[in-house]
Amino acid sequence: MTDHAAPGPAPSVGSPALRLTVVVGEQDAWHHRPLYAEIVHRARAAGLAGASAFRGVEGFGATSLIHTQRLLSLSEELPVAVVVVDTEERVRAFLPQLTELLAGGGLVTLDPCEMIAFRGRADGTAGGEGTHG
Model pTM? Answer: 0.74
The confidence score (pLDDT) of residue 27 equals 87
The confidence score (pLDDT) of residue 126 equals 56
The confidence score (pLDDT) of residue 26 equals 87
What are the Cα distances from residue 93, in Å, to 23, 37, 44, 87? 19, 19, 13, 10
- C-alpha span between 35 and 15 (Å, rounded): 30
The confidence score (pLDDT) of residue 64 equals 64
pLDDT by 10s per residue, the chain, length 133:
555 555 655 555 789 999 999 999 888 999 999 999 999 999 999 999 999 999 988 777 666 666 666 555 555 678 899 999 999 999 999 999 999 999 988 899 999 999 988 877 666 565 554 444 4
- C-alpha span between 92 and 20 (Å, rounded): 9
Q: Do the Cβ atoms of 17 and 86 come closer than 8 Å?
A: yes
The confidence score (pLDDT) of residue 133 equals 46
The confidence score (pLDDT) of residue 76 equals 64
